[in-house]
Amino acid sequence: MSGSGKRLGFIGLGMMGYPMASRLHQAGHSLIIFDVAEAQVDKFVREHTGAAVAENLEAYADVEVLITMLPDSDTVESTLLGKDGRNRLIDRLPSGAVVIDMGSSQPIRSRALAQSLEREGLHFLDAPVSGGVKGAVGGTLTIMVGGDETKFREALDVLHCMGKTITFVGGPGTGHALKALNNYVSAAGLIATVEALIVGQEFGLDAGLMIDIFNSSTGQNYTTLNKAKQYMLSGTFNSGFSLRLMTKDIGTASELGESLGWDMSLGQKVKQICAEAASALEGTADHTEMYRHLQSSKTA
Ligand code: NAD
C-alpha cells in the first residue's frame, strides 16, 4: 500500500461497485468491504490482498471515507440509518468521516440524508456516476458531485481513482438530481432509437446501416454510438445495466419534476414504457433488452 492511501469503507460490490472498489485497492487505499451477496465479498477478498470484510458495524470505526454503491435510496438509508433506530452505521463512523453515495439515489432523500449526517458530525456527498461497467473497469466514469465543496475537494484523490470527468455540481442532492435527469435523457434516446430501428427494418432498411447513418447524422446519441450494435443487434443484451435500475432512475426524474410542479409528459411516457418492459421481462433483464421487448409488442 502506498503511504498516501486512505482508510475506506465500501458497501455494494455489484456490477459497478466491484470494479470501482478494485480500482481503489489498486491505487493503494485500504478497504473494508461489504455486500449482502457473500459470493461477491469472498471473490473480492480472494482477488484483492489486504482487503478486509466488515463482519460487523465496528469494522467501520476508523474509516475516513465510506462509499456506498447500492441500488437505491431505500438501501442506502437502511444501511446508514438502520431499522427502527437499531444498527445505525452512522453511530459507528468516526466524527468527521465523509459518506459518499455513488449510486443513483433520489435527490430529495439525499438532501435530507445529508442534513441527518451533518447533525451527527459526519459529511455527505452524492457522487453518482455515468459511463457504465466499461467506465467503472477503466476508471473513466463521469462523476457528478453534490454537497460541500471543500469536502468535494478533499475527496478528489479518491474519486480520481474511479473517474475521469469529475465535476462539483452544487449543494446536497444536486448530483443525484443531475444523474436522474441524465438517465431520463438517455432512456428517451434509447427508446426513440429502438422504435426507429424497428420501423426502419419493417420498411426494408438494414439495421446496421441505419445506425451507421444515425452516427454521422443528427440522430446520433449514446445508444446509437455505444449500445445498438454492441448489445442489441448483436443479441448479447449484456451491457451490465439492468432494466430494473433504469426504470428506477426514470421514476426518480419524473418524481423530481412533479415535486417542482412539472408534468414532464415525455418523462411520463418513457417511465410507462420502461415499467411495462420491466414487468414483461425477467427481473435481471439488461436495459438493452428494450429492443427485444418492443420488437415483440407490435399492436395489430
Ligand atoms: P447491482 O445490482 O449490480 O449491484 C448492487 C449491489 O448492492 C449488489 O451486489 C447487491 O448484492 C448489493 N446490495 C443490495 N442491498 C445491499 C445491502 N443492504 N447491503 C449491502 N449490499 C447490498 O447494481 P449496479 O449496476 O452495480 O448499480 C449500483 C448503483 O449504480 C445503482 O444505483 C445504479 O442505478 C447505479 N448505476 C449503475 C450503472 C450500470 O451501468 N450498471 C451505471 C451508473 C449507475
User: 255-297: per-residue pLDDT in tens?
Assistant: 999 999 999 999 999 999 999 999 999 999 999 999 999 999 8
Gap between the Cα atoms of 283 and 170, Å rounded = 34
- Ligand 1 atom 21, closest CA: 35
Range of the domain at 230: 178-296
pTM of the model: 0.95
Residue ranges lining ligand 1, Cβ < 6 Å? 11-17, 34-37, 40, 69-72, 75, 79, 103-104, 129-130, 132-133, 240-241, 245, 249
* Claim to verify: residue 199 and residue 135 sit in the same structural domain: no
| Ligand 1 center from residue 230 Cα (angstroms) | 22
Query: What are the grid coordinates assigned to 210, written together?
Result: 441505419
| Number of compact structural domains in the chain | 2
Band (pLDDT 50/70/90 cuts) for residue 300 is low
Whether residue 299 is predicted with pLDDT greater than 80 in this model: the reply is no
CATH of the domain at 250: 1.10.1040.10
Give the model confidence (pLDDT) of 114-162 as tens digits.
999 999 999 999 999 999 999 999 999 999 999 999 999 999 999 999 9
* Claim to verify: residue 199 and residue 162 sit in the same structural domain: no
- Ligand 1 atom 14, closest CA: 70
* Claim to verify: residue 16 and residue 129 sit in the same structural domain: yes
Gap between the Cα atoms of 142 and 165, Å rounded = 5
In a domain, 2, yes or no: no
Burial class of 255 by CB neighbour count within 10 A (0 to 12, 13 to 18, 19+):
middle
Dihedral Cα 59, 92, 112, 170, nearest 10 deg: -60
Mean per-residue pLDDT of the chain: 96
Contact 119, 144 (CB under 8 A): no
* Claim to verify: residue 138 and residue 35 sit in the same structural domain: yes
- Ligand 1 atom 29, closest CA: 103
Give the model confidence (pLDDT) of 195-205 as tens digits.
999 999 999 99
Gap between the Cα atoms of 110 and 122, Å rounded = 14
Single residue among 153, 170, 187 that ends a domain in this structure: 170
Rounded to a whole number, what is the distance in angstroms from the first to the last CA of the chain?
A: 63
Which ranges in 203-287 belong to alpha helices (H)?
Answer: 207-215, 222-226, 243-259, 265-280
| Ligand 1 center from residue 241 Cα (angstroms) | 9
**Whether residue 179 lies in the annotated active site:** yes
Single residue among 140, 170, 200 that ends a domain in this structure: 170
Single residue among 170, 203, 227 that ends a domain in this structure: 170
* Claim to verify: residue 260 and residue 162 sit in the same structural domain: no
* Claim to verify: residue 111 and residue 235 sit in the same structural domain: no
In a domain, 12, yes or no: yes
